[in-house]
Amino acid sequence: MPSIITSQTIDIQPSWKTEFSQCISSIDELLGRLQLKPEQLSPSHQAATDFPLRVPRPFVERMKIGDPNDPLLAQVLPVIQETQSAVGYSADPLEETQHNPVPGIVHKYRNRLLLIVSPSCAINCRYCFRRHFPYQENRQSKEQWQQAIAYISRSKEINEVIFSGGDPLAANDNFLSWLTKQIADIPHIKRLRIHSRLPVVIPSRIDEPFLSWITATRLKPIIVLHINHSNEIDSSVQNMIQRLLSRGILILNQTVLLKGINDDAQVLSELSETVYDAGVLPYYLHLLDPIEGASHFDISQQRAEHIFHQLQAELPGFLVPKLVREIPGKKSKTLMGQVNN
Ligand SMILES: *Cc1c(COP(=O)(O)O)cnc(C)c1O
Ligand code: SF4
């Protein structure tokens, strides 16, 4: 009998693919659900034409009804400021298109590289540094994937492969499992890292089919989530993290420092505490990349370092994320805020 109850319980849960396909993509629908009027914000249909609004319903459920300053809403709502261009902001600030040795690979650092596994995302984050990346040129056939795998095979200094995107977990598990097997056949690869925001915005993504391939590989798996505010963590996210932890998977979190969303030591301290309580360690706090259309999220380096020093005074060292910036041409991320003043 209990097994019947279990299977019924699973059946009524929507699958992640259903939730992925039923995202909200209309400004009016989003504001309507939150009982907000357009006059309270500055939504822009023009900005949504350039980079569409896209937000999964489980994430919308964590937004506060009637709050025009909700930190989750501000991450996804297309606004007028995006259409105003700013000096020094470009479409490819990280020069990723110059480090594309074969389609699907971004190789900048000596012993690890990114595989652009999927061009799509479940959520379109307005500040995203990948909003202008030429994903179409990085869309792969299986033969092209064989070329990417051959590149990793002959690059003997690589010991870690990072699934990136877009969002790598937007790809289906059959493909991810196949790709992982090809990589695990390369003796010099030790670790498989997955950088994904999808489990945060659609927690049902971490299901049995996913857990079965990720635990079947000889590669040591690491998942780096992307959470910017403690309001993003509800019980469904805590349960998703538990499913990963119960299989022994290391989970880290990275955050982007965003004006009006988390540019405050108190907010960041609460984020670190909340992710730790859920079983996750803070990894990076990124300064925003100077991407076209996102300058209204930027804060000065001086203010970022000031907030970071306040945060250091609030938390034990292991809960302080590393404040970093990506500077083109460097061999790693660049640590900031190292001098206390
Ligand atoms: C950020 C990044 C990595 C990973 O860097 P870590 O410091 O190891 O987290 C790898 N490759 C590229 C191109 C990156 O941008
Ligand atoms: S790549 Fe990450 S930050 Fe960018 S839109 Fe997708 S989920 Fe958001």
pLDDT tens digits, 87-145: 677 777 767 777 888 999 999 999 999 999 998 999 999 999 666 665 565 567 888 99
Look up the domain containing 74 and give its range.
16-83
Same domain, 164 and 313: yes
Residue 6 included in any domain: no
Gap between the Cα atoms of 138 and 108, Å rounded: 17
Gap between the Cα atoms of 13 and 8, Å rounded: 9
76, 124, 162, 223: residue to mutate for ligand 2 pocket, most atoms within 8 A of CB: 124
Q: Tell me, using a 6 A CB cutoff, whether residue 114 lines ligand 1.
A: yes
Same domain, 60 and 184: no
| 236 Cβ contact partners less than 8 Å away, ≥ 6 residues apart | 58, 203, 204
User: Residue 102 corresponds to which tokens in the numbers above?
Assistant: 């074969």
Per-residue pLDDT for 326 more than 50?
A: yes
Given the CA of residue 108, which atom of ligand 1 is nearest to it?
Answer: 13
Per-residue pLDDT for 327 more than 80?
A: yes
Q: What is the mean pLDDT of residues 150-172?
A: 97
Same domain, 40 and 178: no
* Total number of domains constituting the chain: 2
CATH number at residue 328: 3.20.20.70
Same domain, 132 and 69: no
Supply the pLDDT for residue 132.
63
pLDDT band at residue 2, thresholds of 50, 70 and 90? very low
Which 3 state secondary structure label does DSSP give 145?
helix
Q: What is the pLDDT of residues 259-314, one digit of tens each?
A: 999 999 999 999 999 999 999 999 999 999 888 889 999 999 999 999 999 999 99
For every residue of 258-273, DSSP letters joined together read: -TTTT-SHHHHHHHHH
From ligand 2's centre to the CA of 308, what distance in Å? 23
Same domain, 77 and 100: no
Same domain, 76 and 210: no
Centre a 10 Å sphere on the Cβ of residue 181 and count the other Cβ atoms it contains.
14
What pTM value is reported for the model? Answer: 0.93
If you average pLDDT over every residue of the chain, what do you get? 92
Supply the pLDDT for residue 10.
52
Gap between the Cα atoms of 98 and 240, Å rounded: 36
Q: Tell me, using a 6 A CB cutoff, whether residue 333 lines ligand 1.
A: yes
Q: Which of 243, 314, 320 is nearest to 275 (CA)?
A: 320
| Chosen domain end from 35, 57, 83 | 83
Per-residue pLDDT for 181 more than 70?
A: yes
Residue 341 included in any domain: no
Gap between the Cα atoms of 306 and 301, Å rounded: 9
Same domain, 283 and 151: yes
* 117, containing H or E segment: strand 112-118
Residue 106 included in any domain: yes
Q: Tell me, using a 6 A CB cutoff, whether residue 115 lines ligand 1.
A: no
Q: Tell me, using a 6 A CB cutoff, whether residue 106 lines ligand 1.
A: yes
Centre a 10 Å sphere on the Cβ of residue 176 and count the other Cβ atoms it contains.
21
